[in-house]
Structure 1
Amino acid sequence: MNLDHWTRGYTQAELDDAQAKFGLVFPPDLVALLRERRPVRGHDWADEAAIRSMLEWPLEGLPFDIEHNALWWSEWGERPDHPEARAEVLRSVLSRAPKLIPLLSHRYLPEQPHESGNPVFSVYQADVIHYGANLEDYFEREFNGWGHRPWPDQIRYVPFWSDLVERNC
């Protein structure tokens, strides 16, 4: 572990407060990591405005791709004629998708399932890719290089977000 990448962790009370404030449930591996240490360049869970902005980031980019890059999946039904109606369909789709927890920059860990081992996604509009097979794998790749080790054959499926990854390949 390169200590230059990490700083002191949060207390359990700080993590409980962050989860309550933002309506999240952190998976156990994220809680364990953030109790022990946190990334220096990671998002500060005490900075409410910055966290709220990063929680909205994935939701703000998708409407752009619907309006300008022909993003529309057949399972969403017929594409409405008006932008407001398309936005309403997207809001409904996203309301059923697992929430994303910001880690570093536009890298996110899905909140669900509420268990260890969720993949980490890089989210930039509808350009969503895996950035780690799980939390440990992600930080090894982030700090040691993308090709640091081979990708596993199986990465946990997360509704909606994994579908975006598949459709981007």
Structure 2
Amino acid sequence: MNKNITFPENLSNFLYWVKDTTESYWSKLPHDKLIHGAKWLPLTDQQIDELELKYSIKFGIEHRLFLRILHTIDKHYDDEWEEVKYIESEEERRGKPLWSPLYRPSYFYNWITEKEWIESRLAWINDFYTISISGPGKSWLRSWGPRPESDEERVQIFREWYQKAPRLLPITAHTFLMDDGGHGLRPVMSVYGFDTIIMGWSLRHFLMLEFDVELGLTEIYYDDKEDYPEGYTDLVKGIPELDVLMTIRLNDTDIPYWKEALTYYHHPDQNCWQGFWVPWSKSEL
């Protein structure tokens, strides 16, 4: 692949490029693949407006574009989805998804047909942070001030903070797109309580990483020093946009409210984002 590959700068054009490229890729897959011939199912502006009213939410500009052009696909992404029962007790919950409706048929959430999943994910962040704050670990952010003794006080402080923080709306699994809140940053974040990490520095970045194969962004590399004599597959090296996005340093970027949560588990001596592809060696920072 040409390392000087460029992507459409306009987000709308970029999303249409993703749509056309992925659908073309899926159309050429073997017929026994569940995703063979998959198509995106975009929403109309009227449908998006109705969803905002129904769930008392407001999609950011980028999220609305995503829903209007992509939204979700009409088939399973792979054959690994399993039916999962609704889990209630702590004993049943161990090692299993929390608050999972019976079945999720699509890869990205279908805001029209997957009402249970949408409702569960709109409550997901509040529920998981509340459990983390009230549970044995009693997780707590320094910016919240001294930690109260009672669970009720701790939860109240968190909820007041959460109401002011930029809104996170679900895209897929426990992954959410952050509204910029007027700050210009719109990262995609994976949220599992205080295990909150950056999945992409923007919707564009996230989609490049999610569909790296379909978009032709992977390549086989060979290295005598590696443990993979037959080569290993990785993102194409030397693509400027990806290289820059994957090496954003901790001190160079601010994410209002969420930055402290995003670095909750990172080592204090390392200027890096939790769980993301950034330099870990001090000499590289």
TM over 0.5: yes
In the alignment, structure 1 residue 2 sits paired with structure 2 residue 25: no
Measured in 1, the distance between the counterparts of 2:44 and 2:118 equals 18
2:66 counterpart letter in structure 1:
L
Alpha-carbon deviations, 1:73-104, whole Å to 9, x = none?
23322211111221111111211112211001
Range that drifts further, 56-65 or 149-158? 149-158
CA contact under 8 A between 2:122 and 2:170: conserved in structure 1?
yes
Q: Could you say what secondary structure the match of 1:129 adopts?
A: strand
- Structure whose residues are more often strand by fraction: 1
CA contact under 8 A between 1:27 and 1:115: conserved in structure 2?
no
In the alignment, structure 1 residue 83 sits paired with structure 2 residue 116: no
Tell me what 2:127 maps to.
60
Q: Could you say what secondary structure the match of 1:144 adopts?
A: coil
Measured in 2, the distance between the counterparts of 1:141 and 1:133 equals 11
CA contact under 8 A between 2:72 and 2:110: conserved in structure 1?
no
Higher relative contact order (CA 8 A, sep 6+): 1
Measured in 2, the distance between the counterparts of 1:93 and 1:50 equals 25
Range that drifts further, 120-129 or 59-68? 59-68
1:15 counterpart letter in structure 2:
I
2:248 counterpart letter in structure 1:
D
Tell me what 1:29 maps to.
62
TM-score with structure 2 setting the length: 0.53
Measured in 2, the distance between the counterparts of 1:45 and 1:113 equals 22
Tell me what 2:275 maps to.
none
RMSD: 2.5
Range that drifts further, 81-90 or 7-16? 81-90
The structural deviation recorded for 1:33 is 2.1
Measured in 2, the distance between the counterparts of 1:165 and 1:156 equals 12
The structural deviation recorded for 1:68 is 2.4
CA contact under 8 A between 1:120 and 1:134: conserved in structure 2?
yes
Provide structure 2 residue ranges, at least 5 long, that are not aligned to the other structure.
1-20, 27-37, 74-106, 219-233, 236-241, 267-285
The structural deviation recorded for 1:69 is 2.1
Larger radius of gyration: 2
Measured in 2, the distance between the counterparts of 1:14 and 1:115 equals 27
Structure 1 pair 19/42, CA: closer, same or farther in 2 (3 Å)? same
Alpha-carbon deviations, 1:8-67, whole Å to 9, x = none?
200111111112222222222222222112232111212333212101111111122222
Q: Could you say what secondary structure the match of 1:68 adopts?
A: coil
Provide structure 1 residue ranges, at least 5 long, that are not aligned to the other structure.
none
Measured in 1, the distance between the counterparts of 2:265 and 2:150 equals 25
Structure 1 pair 87/105, CA: closer, same or farther in 2 (3 Å)? same
Tell me what 1:49 maps to.
116
1:163 counterpart letter in structure 2:
E
In the alignment, structure 1 residue 108 sits paired with structure 2 residue 186: no
Number of aligned residue pairs: give it: 169
Moved over 6 A (4+): none
Measured in 2, the distance between the counterparts of 1:138 and 1:22 equals 25
In structure 2, which of residues 173, 193, 197 is the aligned counterpart of residue 129 of structure 1? 197
CA contact under 8 A between 1:51 and 1:102: conserved in structure 2?
yes
For residues 150-161 of structure 1, what are the structure 2 equivalents within 5 Å? Answer: 150=243, 151-153=246-248, 157-161=254-258
